[in-house]
Structure 1
C-alpha cells in the first residue's frame, strides 16, 4: 500500500532527520531549484506539484492505513524537496486537507529553501504558523558565499540570513542542514569558520551535520574528475568538524552529527556539551594515528583514493 503512495520518490525517500517519526504526506516531487552541483537526491525527478485532488486521494489511503494501526497521528511532514515553495493559499488548502484526515496533527513540517521563505510575507508565514507549520528544515549548507556560488546553490549567505531572521521574527521553529567538505580542500577552513559564525547569529532548534558524498549523477563528478574540486578524506572532514564546533557560539541548540555519511557519530547540546563533543573528536583524531584506524579508512573509503 505505502509503495503506491510514495512511488514517485524512487528507491531513496528523504525526509528531514528531525522528522523520522512523522507521517510523510506526498505534496511535491523533486526540487524547484534542482541545480546544486553536489545533489542528486531527487534521482532525476523533475519538480512537480501533485495537485490537491491527488493529495486528497493519498490522504484517504494514509488515513485508512494508520487507523488500522490505532496510531494517533500528531506530526506530519510534507514530502518533496521544498514544498514550501508553493503559493501560500495552496499550502493552506493542503493543510486543511491534512487536518480533515488527521485532526489531531499539531505540527506540519517540511524542507524549505531560503528563497521559499523570502517569497512569503511575514503575514503569510504567521498564517501558516497558526495552522501548525513548524520545525522547517533549511539547507543552509555553508555560511561562505564562495562555497555557495561554486556549488550553484542559488542563494547567498545574505539570503539565508534574511530567511532565518524572518522565521525567528515569526517564532517558527526550524533546523538547519550543514555539509562538511562542501568547500573541498581549498576552502575547508573558510567554510568551517564562516558557517560557524553564520549559525552563531541565530538560534536553530537543531543543527544537522552531514558530509559531502559524490552522487554518480551529480554535476560535481565532472569537477572532481578535472581536479577542480578536491574532496576531503574522513580525517580531514573530522578536522573541519572540530573547527566548526570550536567556532560555534550558540544559546541552546542540539548539534546532530549522527548522519551515516559522517566519519564520527556526534550528538550533544550546545553550548552545554561543547567540550564533550570536542573531546570525542580529539580522542578520535589521536586514535587515527595508529595503523588499524588508517586501514579501516582505506577499506571504507577506498573509492576516494582513485581520484
Structure 2
C-alpha cells in the first residue's frame, strides 16, 4: 500500500478501508498544527495509478483464500468493505473531477462499497459548485470530517484557519442541500486562557445552525515545533488550563440544541466518552464534572505534557 508519513483517521473510521488520496495539507498554516511536519512537502495528491494499485491490493486481501479459511477456523467475523476512507489532511480539496475518478475506481474494485469519506476543510467545499457537490454525493461521497475547530471569530483569525464562522454555516448548508453528511472536530482551548466559555458559546451558536451527525471534541495540545508555541513564547497568546478546557466543553454541551452525537475519543483526551444529545446531556456533563473533580488539573496537565504525538 502507498502510505506517506503518519496516517490520520477519525476514531469512527476504524472499520473503514484506508486508501491514501493525498499527503500533507493544502492550507498548512494553522498555528497549532504539527501533524504533517514530517513531510518534505506541503501537499501532494496521490497518482491515480497508486490509488488503483492499492485498491487492487486490498481487493486481493479481502478475497484471499487463506484469510477466509482463518475466519472459518477461528470463527472470526467476515471482512467486508462497506466504506472507504481517503487518507490525507483534506482530500476533498482535490478537484471534483479527480474525486469522481477515484469514486469510479472504488466502484470498479469494491462494488459493494456504500460510501467514501475523507477529511475536508470548509474552503474545500466553497471551491466546488452546487452541481459538483451533487455529483460527488451521487458518486458515494458522504460522511466528511471537517475540522471547524471553533465558531470563535477571534480564534479562527488568530490561528489562521482561512475562513470565518459564517463560512461554516454557509458551506455546511450547501453540503446539506447536496445530501452529503458531515462531522465536526472541535478543539477545546483554541480560544486561549480566559476565553474558553466565550469560544464555547460562539461554537454552539454556529453548530446550532448546521446539522453535523457528530461533534468530536479534542483538547488543544501545544507542541514546541508549532507556530502557536512561538506565539506563547512571544507573549501574544496564553494557553488555557486543563480544567478550563473541560469547563469549556461543558458549556458547549449545555448550549447545543441540535440533535447530535457528541464524542471525545481522540488521543488528546485522557478520558474518552460518548453520548447522544440532548438525550444524554446530563450524563455527559456529569462525566466531565467527574474528570475535573477526580482527576484534577495536575494529573490532566501531566497527561498533556507527556503526550508526545497525537
Task: Give the unaligned 5+ runs of structure 2.
Answer: 69-78
Distance in 1 of aligned mates of 2:305 and 2:128 = 45
Alpha-carbon shift at residue 31 of structure 1 (Å): 0.7
Report the TM-score when normalising by structure 2. 0.89
TM-score (normalised: structure 1)? 0.90
Structural mapping, 1:145-294, within 5 Å: 145-250=153-258, 252-287=259-294, 293=296
> Is the 1:31–1:81 contact (alpha carbons within 8 Å) kept by the matching residues of 2?
yes
The corresponding residue for 1:48 is 44
- The change in CA–CA distance for 1:179 and 1:302 in structure 2 (over 3 A counts) is closer
- Using the TM superposition, give the Cα deviation of residue 145 of structure 1 relative to its aligned residue in structure 2, in angstroms: 0.9
Determine the C-alpha separation between the residues in 2 that align with 1:108 and 1:302: 36
Contact 2:96-2:128 within 8 A present in 1 as well: yes
Distance in 2 separating the partners of 1:130 and 1:204: 19
Q: Is the 8 A contact 1:76 1:108 kept in 2?
A: yes
Are the equivalent residues in 2 in contact too, given 1:257–1:267 (CA < 8 A)?
A: yes
Contact preservation (8 Å) 1:30, 1:80: yes
1:15-164 correspondence runs (5 A): 15-45=9-39, 46-68=42-64, 69-70=67-68, 71-164=79-172
Distance in 1 of aligned mates of 2:305 and 2:151 = 30
Residues 193 and 244, structure 1, Cα contact 8 Å, conserved in 2: yes
Indicate the SS of the match to 1:220: helix
Q: Distance in 1 between matches of 2:297 and 2:152?
A: 31
Sort the Cα spacing of 1:75 and 1:154 in 2 relative to 1 into closer, same or farther, 3 A. Answer: same
The change in CA–CA distance for 1:303 and 1:263 in structure 2 (over 3 A counts) is closer
Following superposition, the deviation at residue 202 of structure 1 comes to: 1.7
Match of 2:75 in 1: none
Structure 1 pair 301–75 and aligned structure 2 pair: CA distance change class (3 A): closer
Of 8, 19, 33, 1:14 maps to 8
- Give the SS at the match of 1:231: coil
Deviation per CA, 1:234-260, whole angstroms, max 9, x where unpaired? Answer: 21111111111111111x210011223
Aligned residue pairs, count: 293
Could you say what secondary structure the match of 2:218 adopts? Answer: strand
- 1:17–1:302: structure 2 CA closer, same or farther, 3 Å change rule? closer
Matches of 1:138 and 1:302, distance apart in 2: 26
Label 1:286 to 1:171 Cα distance change in 2 as closer, same or farther (>3 A): same
How far is the alpha carbon of 1:295 from its aligned partner?
A: 5.1
Runs of 4 or more, structure 1, over 4 Å off, are 301-304
Q: Is the 8 A contact 2:7 2:88 kept in 1?
A: no
Rounded to whole Å, the distance in 2 between the matches of 1:54 and 1:297 is 42
Secondary structure (helix, strand or coil) at the match of 1:78 reads strand
Q: CA separation of 1:277/1:102 partners in 2, compared to 1, >3 Å: closer, same or farther?
A: same
Q: Distance in 1 between matches of 2:83 and 2:305?
A: 40
List per-residue Cα deviations over 1:266-297 (Å, max 9, x = no partner): 21001111111112223333335xxxx45534
In structure 2, the partner of 1:296 is: 299
